[in-house]
Amino acid sequence: MLPSLLGAHPISQLSNHHRAGVAAVLFLLEPIRRPFHAPIPLNPSLYSLWNGCRSIAGRIVTGKPLGPVPFQANVELLRLFLTNREDIVESIEAVLNAQRKPIRYLRDHSLLSRHFEDCFFARTAVTASQTRLRGQLEEAHWAGGFRPRQVQDLHNDLIHPAEMMIRGFHCWQQTRWPGRNGRMHYAHTLFNLYVIRCLLFLSIRLWVACPNGEGPDSSATGRLAEIQGLLDELWRSSPANQPVIVRDARWLIPLAQSSITDELAPYFEVAQHITETLQKADALEIRKAHVRMIGGHLTSQIRYYCTKEGVSINEHSVVLRTRTSNALDFALLVQGLVELLKAYDCAFESGDERMRLDMAGAICQGISADPELFLNRVDLLSAYSMIEHVFIAPRAIEEAGEGHVVYSPAGQRHVQLLKEYRALIDRLIKSLRDDFPRFRPVDGGCSPYGVIFGLPSHLIEHMALKALQHDAETRFSLEDVFDDRDTSAAKLAWVNGWRKLPHIDPEVQRLYDYPQQFAEDVYHRLESELSEASLAKPRDSNGAPCDGSTTGRLYIVSGDDPEFDLEKPDSKASVIPELPARYFHSSDRQIVAAHKAEPYDRAQLLAGRREGHFLVSYETPGGWIALKKDLLTEVLGAGRDARIVGLPLDAAQVLRLVCTDLVIPENVADQASVPPSIGNAGPVIATASSEAKK
């Protein structure tokens, strides 16, 4: 939400959108300093410290429309739980005293979840109206578009006490079942996780209207303050030997969006609410947290690919896969980076060094996964970050009429942010380059560039499971994972210690040690791109650098245009090579048989469309066809033009909007009706478009 996602998003075939590539990151192996040879076998269970059984959803969500979920009533309920903490923890300890229970019971997520919640609702003086709140926050979260996708062998959900009970049971089965003191210790951890889970759900409801404008301050800012108060009380009531998992309530909002989901639009709705309803300082901290989490998720994804395939960080296949599968993460990064760059600019002008370096560190973490794209190929970034079904509204297509496709409101906002991002990064690149050396990874220390995780929520799982040990480190919290000011050996020991548990073989633990060499590789690649970007370069009319690294353009040719003859293309079109069929995927057998696309499973194609893997896709009489984003790097990024023949009128119009800066204008007379370029100059998109009848 990397993952997503803890994104997750699109990674190793498990993907989905942002925080997707989740399972990817799943296997963090020691940095490979030797030449890259055969891939190293990976064990997914060790990444997430899997519980030994397939995870099942903890509660059945009906999908029925929900009435308003009262914010203040849930706040009061959580206060009641905190007041009765000791009694509830005693009840949880009794559930953990399951040494003689059958294996089936120890792995039954649904049953354990019910028994666990009974400790809160059946053992405290809750009223009838409070009892009815049970499960409402979770269902409202799922109904709001954040329902986790079920992923085999991967716990894809926000932190869940029942899941952590199962993992604890698995650890104890492999080693030794603890006595009462050990169970009480872990019961306190599980109590904390339950409250955090509820606060995560509440954090996404700051701006949701509730009955009667309930609460002393029903504004989003007032509600955020109430959540912070609950979080502070949680840690005040917690024993000193418990990890303080997250301190800042503002970090809960991006964390609440870190599961792999099927819907992408809700992420942009939340982003807009943050801008419109919260105070500037709060919104900025949320953006900073989100940018850091997404950047860490994406670099973790790269680490996975490099380790799995035994290749370097700059391997073409790794770059291509990362770019193609992370449209949601890229789009969310752009939205967050714009605000961070503005704050960086203000701090630079005012001489506020602390704020300037804080923003610089977050910006560099955000762009660390693909600094070339975010610094030197913003024209390609704009197309890679586009999500067809989110930024082009189906209703807009129907209402505007054929040939007049327009951006959705989310698309209009994204295009404007891309324009702002380009202007800001161009202006601030030199000062960013000057500040960047402060974030160099230190040997023997811990840099955010080397912290590997799947989804951000997995970081909390690591901290929680480590609490099985009484001597676990408690000085650090989630925020410290991404703190580039603290590179201490103590923090390195904390990060390395996450997977050092008694049921994990020591030899395997060493494979998961913090990857110092990888962190340095990430740093040096970013350093190189900052140096390249900071050189003074003349710009063309579209804002692209004129330094020899030109970007190719697309020329769209249409058979639906009555004034255009496919058999007699004009001289300009005839000299531009046609885009090879390998850049098209199709489930339509006729199209594949005609060698106009490569075969692709329909379900996979639609899944890829949902995650923003394609520039444009549309239904054909025999299936679906989609244009792969690979062409952005392999063709246009290499400076070559390409001609696309055969798109229907609507699909061609969508492609114009998605690739605003990358399409060759054909007819000056028609350009007045074409949407403006993301760059500072005028329109650059083709007006000829459509499709030969197949």
- Whether the per-residue pLDDT at 638 is higher than 50: the answer is yes
**Predicted confidence band at 214 (pLDDT cuts at 50, 70, 90)?**
low
Give whichever of 210-214, 536-540, 609-613 has the largest mean pLDDT. 609-613
**SS3 at position 20:** strand
Mean pLDDT rounded to a whole number for the chain:
83
Give the closest residue to 541 by CA, choosing from 674, 679, 676: 679
Whole-angstrom Cα distance, residue 598 to residue 633?
Answer: 19
DSSP-assigned letters across all residues of 82-141: HHTHHHHHHHHHHHH--TTS-HHHHT-HHHHHHHHHHHHHTSS---HHHHTTTTHHHHHH
Percent of the chain with pLDDT over 90: 69
pLDDT tens string 346-360: 999 999 999 999 999
Cα-based distances in Å from 366 to 293, 313, 557, 558: 8, 17, 37, 39
Tell me the pLDDT tens digit for each residue of 162-171: 999 999 999 9
Q: For residue 212, what pLDDT is reported?
A: 53
Who has greater pLDDT, 234 or 48? 234
Nearest to 455 by CA among 560, 353, 304: 304
- Cα(167)–Cα(187) distance, rounded to whole angstroms? 13
Strands 584-586 and 598-599 turn out to be: parallel
Rounded to 5 degrees, φ, ψ at 151 are: -120, 125
Q: Hey, what are 564's tokens?
A: 């255009």
Dihedral sign from CA coordinates of 141, 142, 146, 150: positive
Residues 377-412: tens digit of each pLDDT: 999 999 999 999 999 976 545 555 555 789 999 999
Q: pLDDT by residue (tens digit) across 62-79? A: 334 445 789 999 999 999
322: Cβ–Cβ under 8 A, 6 or more apart, which residues? 298, 301, 302, 305, 369, 370
Alpha-carbon Rg of the chain, whole angstroms?
A: 26
What number is the average pLDDT over the span 497-514? 85
pLDDT at 427 over 90: yes
Give residue-wise pLDDT tens across range 428-478. Answer: 999 999 999 999 999 999 999 999 998 999 999 999 999 998 888 999 999
Average pLDDT, integer, range 9-19: 36
3-state secondary structure of 158: coil
Instruction: Tell me what the mean pLDDT of segment 333-339 comes to.
Output: 98
